[in-house]
Each structure stands twice: as structure tokens, then as C-alpha cells.
Chains A and B, each alone.
Chain A
Amino acid sequence: MALHLNLLHEIESAKRARQRDPLKLGIYGIVFIVLCFLGFYFLRLGTTGTILNEKKTLENEWAALEPRQTAAIARAEELRAEIALSSNAISFIESRFYWAPLLEQIGHLVPPSIQISRISGDLQSARGCTISLEGIAAGVEPRTVAEKLRTTLATELLAGEGKVDSSFVSLEDGANQALVGGQTLPTSIFTIRLSVRLSETPPAP
């Protein structure tokens, strides 16, 4: 058997020892970890950069919108005030109480045997008023004539467009007699108070 001698034994041992140098292996490991960390850092840097760009876009948009918004708020206030004023003026006009139709109806409902001597009307609200009618009723039974007027006013005045309450403030026998249709009849003096309340829908102007 031939003798096998490895004359490079010492050199190879030294080489192996160098290859297993823990510092060198550690440095390789650290470099690898650092590279991973750097990769992750750049990934995060890219994401953050995107967010910052988006933020800058929003800031630019806000910088452009903010003065317009401030101006728009002031203008909106101005316009709202104008619209409200116009609407309130129309509401005032449309919700007025119209006296003429009421007086016309009263004129039609008073029979020839009654003479109205005084009318007083007071506006209570946009939809209501009180009216006081003073007059003389003539008839065989003058109080009945006055009562008939009171009930007629209560039921027929406004004719479904509101509510009328009527009551006597006074009803007395008259001292004088009246000539109605060629007949001399006894009289009564009355004061009727009407409380008029229109329905909520305003009349057409």
C-alpha cells in the first residue's frame, strides 16, 4: 500500500479556519439583514411618498376652495336674507284679511226690516276679526227678527270659508215704531257681536 502524504495539510486547515471566521460570517449576516431592512425602508418610503403627494394634492385643492367657500358663505347669507324677505313680503300680502267680501255678505244678509246704524270691525289676527253691529229691528215680534238676523249671520256669513260666532251684546225694546211696507211695527234695538275666524287657506288675491 502506497503512503499518502498531504503536504498541504496546514495550508488547508488555515483556509478552513478563515472560511469559518465568525466575524466574517457575522458581517455577511448583518449585511444581508441591513439589505432587507433597507429594502423594507424604501418600500415604506414609496408608500409614504404616495401619501404625501396625495396630501399635497388635497392641500392645494383646499387652498383653492377655502376662499371660495368663505365668499360662498357670505353670499349665501345675503341670498337667504333676500329670499326670506321676498317670501315674507309675499306671505304678508297673501295672508291679509279682506274686509270687502265680509261687508258685502253682511249687506246681503240684512233683511229690509232691519236697519243697521253702526258697524265696528276690529282685526284680531290675519285670519280673524270681531264685528259689532248696532241696529233697529222692526216686526210684529221685533226681538225674533233680531234673533233671526243673529242666527243667519252665524250660519250663512262666510258660507263654509270659516267660523262665525254671534251673540247679542244687548237687545232691548225700542221706544219708537217703524213704518215697514206700509205697516207700523214695534221695534227693538240690538247690538250683535260677531267673532269671525277664517279657515286656514287664504283667499285668492
Chain B
Amino acid sequence: MKLSKDNIQKIALSTLMLLFILYGYFSFLLDPLAQKGAIARKEMADLRPKLLAAKKQLNETNALEEQAPASQATLETIFNDIPNGSPIAWFPPMMTDFFKNQGINSRSIRLTREADAGATLPKFRRLSWVIELSEVQYSQFGQALAALENKMPLIQIEQIQMMPSTSNVETQNVNMTLSNLVKK
């Protein structure tokens, strides 16, 4: 079939129209849609790990909430055992009474050092004391020491010196350095 000039022009025009339609279709419809989809997929991919992390965090916090009451009760018990007020006001009388109940005279109780208890015990201070006990028998002192270590869990004895008493050969004088934890 031989095409006339008019027909050739019409075919050329149709081809041109098709090209315009293809350009418009891809440029204004399909590509923006594909981009929108790709962006949404990327944002979803970013969001999913965040959501998982958030859910994990909530579960962890819930698990900690379950553990916390026991720890809080322990801390409360420890803090309740520490009298309120300045330790220099309550510690020496408390120790004097303690040794008196054990039948031991305490000659002096002095505060020698005061510092933070360290990074692991941030709510505590550590106080060092020197306690001088006079005319105490070895076995009597041993029993008092055992009672002290068992009844006062926040006390750590750091130094003990026992030397003969000048007034009574049957007894000793004792110097003790101990530290105790108190509330900040």
C-alpha cells in the first residue's frame, strides 16, 4: 500500500502524540507514584527498628519495675537502720551505749575522717571513727566485737590494737578504727 503525503503526516502526528503521552505518563504519573512509594518504604524501614527498640525498652522497664520493689525494700530497711541527724550527734552515744551494754567502758569515740562512700554507693557517706576502750578482757571484747559486727551491718572494723592495761594486768586497752556508712 502506498501512503500518500497526507497519510504520512498523520502517522507522524500520531507518533508525536504517542511520544508526548508516554513522556507525560512517566513524568507526571508513574515516576512520582514510584518515588512516593519508595520514600514511604524507606521511612517504614527506618520506623520499624525504632518501634522494635521502643517495645524492647518498654519491656525492659517493665522487668525492672518488677525487680525494683525488692531493691527498694532493701534500701529502705538499710536507710531505716541509720538514725536521722548528724552522725557526730548520734554515733558516739550509740556506741557508748552499745559497749556499756556489753560491760565495756569506752574512753573516747572520735570522728577522724568523712568522705563519700564512692561511686558504687552514691547515696552514702563513709565516716571513720577511732574508739578507745579501757580495761577490757579478751573474751569479753571478742563477744562485744561479734555482737557489733552482727548487729551493725554498715560498720567495718579497719584496725584493732590491743595492749596491756597499765592499771589491771588481767585486762587490755583497745583502740579500734572503724568506718560506717551513713546517709548523705
B37 touches A51 (CB 8 A): yes
The contact of B51 among A37, A62, A89, A92, by CB within 8 Å, is A62
A82 touches B44 (CB 8 A): no
A65 touches B55 (CB 8 A): yes
With A47-B37, A55-B44, A123-B158 as given contacts, are A69 and B25 in contact (CB-CB < 8 Å)? Answer: no
Q: How far does the alpha carbon of A40 sit from the alpha carbon of B15 in the complex, in Å?
A: 21
Encode B35-62 as 1/0 by CB contact (under 8 A) with A: 0110011011001101101110110110
B interface secondary structure, majority: helix
Encode A126-167 as 1/0 by CB contact (under 8 A) with B: 000000000000000000000000000000000000000000
| Contacts of B157-178 to chain A: CB distance below 8 A | 157-164
Encode B82-105 as 1/0 by CB contact (under 8 A) with A: 000000000000000000000000
Chain A residues near B14 (CB-CB < 8 A): 22-23, 26-27, 29-30
Identity of the chain A residue whose Cβ is nearest the Cβ of B34 in the assembled complex: A44
A interface secondary structure, majority: helix
Chain B residues near A104 (CB-CB < 8 A): 142, 146
A122 touches B33 (CB 8 A): no
Name the residue in B11, B34, B64, B150 with the highest tally of chain A Cβ atoms < 10 Å from its Cβ.
Answer: B64
Determine if A119 is an interface residue (Cβ-Cβ < 8 Å). Answer: yes
B21 touches A30 (CB 8 A): yes
Encode A42-67 as 1/0 by CB contact (under 8 A) with B: 00110110011011001101100110
With A55-B40, A83-B67, A96-B156 as given contacts, are A72 and B57 in contact (CB-CB < 8 Å)? Answer: yes
A51 touches B41 (CB 8 A): yes
Segment among A5-13, A73-81, A173-181, A191-199 that sits at the interface with chain B: A73-81
Q: A72-B54, A79-B61 are in contact. List 7 more A-B contacts (CB 8 A).
A: A52-B36, A66-B54, A68-B54, A89-B121, A99-B160, A118-B162, A118-B164
Task: Report which B residues bind A (CB closer than 8 A).
Answer: 1, 3, 7, 10-11, 13-15, 17-18, 21, 25, 29-30, 33-34, 36-37, 40-41, 43-44, 47-48, 50-51, 53-55, 57-58, 60-61, 64-65, 67-68, 70-72, 74-75, 78, 120-124, 138-139, 141-143, 145-146, 149-150, 153-154, 156-164, 181
Q: List 14 A-B contacts (CB under 8 A).
A: A23-B10, A37-B25, A44-B30, A48-B36, A48-B37, A48-B40, A62-B47, A76-B57, A89-B74, A92-B181, A99-B145, A99-B149, A103-B145, A119-B162
Q: Which 10 A-B pairs have the closest CB atoms?
A: A26-B14, A23-B10, A100-B146, A86-B71, A69-B54, A72-B61, A79-B64, A100-B145, A65-B54, A121-B160
